Structure 1
């Protein structure tokens, strides 16, 4: 199992809407993530910068494969109005490097 950490960025003023949408995550999207081997997925928000920090454990399907699914593409399109995205609606993500770990 691999731990993956990355950051994303909200458009200013959409912090509450982002939380609202994730509180009502589509069951078929949650199932697709689980079926692809993603678990322990958490997203943290820095309210001062609108930066999102995501942490997930991953085994199985790569995110590139998961991103080809209809449900994930539909979710990205749904979120594109409140997040920084590329022209194809994929969220702009920046991988983060682990610099410290205390077991």
Structure 2
């Protein structure tokens, strides 16, 4: 575990007709997916929705020391890939050339720059 958590934020567009389904599945995230997120050193993971732009904003802290390795572990989990396939269908990536969460680079969710932080 690293001494300092790294903060990440990212965005993707939700197809508005899938808002109810998106909220429903996130109210009951599959235990295998939650376990994998935890095992990959992700903490304080939140997703917010803007009903005007239909943007989903996600933020989380990474407390590990090998982010790339942990993301490979995440991607190797068949239940996580099943979850991504389901939720990706309800989203539109804002990253040119992005194909899916599972495909990797370019990233499905667009990383956004932190411009202010107050600890």
- TM-score bucket (shorter structure): 0.7 to 0.9
Scaled by the length of structure 1, the TM-score of the pair is 0.86
- Counterpart mapping for 1:20-59 below 5 A: 20-59=24-63
What is the TM-score normalised by the length of structure 2?
0.76
Richer in helix (by share): 2
Compare relative contact order (CA 8 Å, sep 6+) and give the higher one, 1 or 2.
Answer: 1
CA distance, structure 2, for counterparts of residue 95 and residue 15 of structure 1? 22
Gaps of 5+ in 1: none
1:100 paired with 2:100, answer no
| 1:3 match | 7
- Measured in 1, the distance between the counterparts of 2:63 and 2:79 equals 19
| Equivalent position of 2:77 in the other structure | 69
> How many residues are paired up?
102
RMSD, matched Cα: 1.8
CA distance in 1, matches of 2:115, 2:18: 30
